[in-house]
Every structure is written in C-alpha cells, then in structure tokens.
C-alpha cells in the first residue's frame, strides 16, 4: 500500500454516533431503518478503518488486503486506487470540520500504517475521484495533518508541495 485515501461518512447523512456505518461495512445495515438507506441499498463498499467523532478507531479490513473504498479512481496516472491504497473513513460530512480527537487518531493511525507500508501520499477521496466525490471536503484541515505528521517525503493533500 503506497497511498492512504481519507473519506468522510455518516449514516444517515449528518447523524453521528450510531452503529449504521459499521453495519454498512459489515453487510448488516437494515435497509428499512431509514428512508435514506433505500438510496444506497445494495451498495457494496468497505474500508480499512473508520474513525468516530470521539477518536475511536475501528478496523474492518487488514491493510494487507484490498478494501473497496475508492471506486473509479486514479492517483498520479495510476488507476484502481483500491489496489494500492488504505481507505480511512472519518465520521463526518463534506464541508464540516472534523473533531480534534479524530485528527489525533488519524495521525496515530497513519504513523502505524507507515510502519508496515511505504506511504507516498495521503490524499482525499476528492483527489482520486475528482468530480465524482467531494470528501472529506473543505472542512478537513490538510495543513494541520501535514504539520502533525511532519513527513517531508510524503505528499499530504494536494498542493504545490506535492507536485514533483
């Protein structure tokens, strides 16, 4: 895995703290429990990790295995990001700020992943599927993540510093 892709998710949208995200990623979501779920019924997705608003981190898939989080995607000319990326879902919505506890857990998690895999970049779903996806969105603080990780050889977010 050479890429980490940051996502945001809440189910139903804007509702935090329930078990619906975990149910979705473990194929146990009750499609009848909320009208929104009918629109995503049958969706087959997975992620390696999910970080709740309070910073709790849940793992669904080993980083040695593929998760189905990026969909149609491309990074630096290479397609099918699911094949070489770790998918990390943050509980939240595009445009909203994420909690300090989530960012602390994300930094800890990325450091742990980097002990196993050589990460070349940490980017958003919006960066690997532009025009199709908008998460984690403008509420995500890429500068803070960059500062906290202090990884000069790793592209974090998409800005001029990431360009070769």
Specify the DSSP class assigned to residue 138: T
Rounded average pLDDT per 10-residue block, the chain, 164 residues: 97 95 95 94 92 98 96 95 98 95 98 96 96 95 94 81 58
pLDDT, residue 139, reads 94
What is the bridge-based pairing of β-strands 74-75 and 78-79? antiparallel
pLDDT, residue 158, reads 77
What is the C-alpha to C-alpha distance for residues 66 and 72, in angstroms, rounded to an integer? Answer: 14
pLDDT, residue 160, reads 60
Q: Which of 20, 44, 56, 89 is catalytic?
A: 89
Catalytic: 91? no
pLDDT, residue 144, reads 94
Encoded tokens for 56: 């709790």
Q: Specify whether the CB–CB gap between 71 and 132 falls below 8 A.
A: yes
pLDDT, residue 154, reads 85
What is the C-alpha to C-alpha distance for residues 92 and 15, in angstroms, rounded to an integer? Answer: 8
DSSP codes joined into one string, 119-152: --EEEEHHHHSBTTB--S-TTS-HHHHHHHH--T
Which residues lie closer than 8 Å to 28 by C-beta, 6 or more apart? Answer: none
pLDDT, residue 8, reads 97
pLDDT, residue 90, reads 98
Give yes or no for a cis peptide into 136 (omega within 30° of 0). yes
pLDDT, residue 163, reads 58
pLDDT, residue 44, reads 84
Instruction: Please state the pTM of the whole predicted model.
Output: 0.95
pLDDT, residue 62, reads 97
Encoded tokens for 76: 């630096």
pLDDT, residue 15, reads 95
Among 18, 68, 71, smallest CA distance to 47 is for 68
pLDDT, residue 162, reads 65
């Amino acid at each position: 895995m050479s890429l980490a892709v940051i996502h945001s998710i809440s189910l139903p949208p804007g509702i935090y703290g329930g078990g619906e995200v975990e149910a979705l990623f473990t194929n146990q979501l009750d499609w009848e429990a909320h009208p929104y779920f009918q629109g995503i019924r049958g969706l087959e997705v997975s992620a390696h990790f999910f970080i709740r608003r309070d910073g709790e981190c849940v793992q669904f898939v080993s980083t040695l295995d593929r998760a189905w989080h990026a969909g149609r995607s491309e990074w630096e000319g290479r397609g099918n990001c699911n094949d070489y990326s770790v998918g990390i879902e943050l509980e939240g919505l595009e445009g909203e700020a994420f909690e300090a506890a989530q960012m602390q857990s994300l930094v800890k998690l990325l450091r742990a992943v980097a002990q196993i895999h050589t990460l070349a970049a940490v980017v958003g779903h919006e960066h690997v599927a532009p025009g199709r996806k908008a998460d984690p969105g403008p509420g995500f603080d890429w500068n803070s993540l960059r500062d906290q990780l202090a990884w000069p050889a790793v592209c974090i977010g998409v800005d001029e510093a990431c360009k070769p």
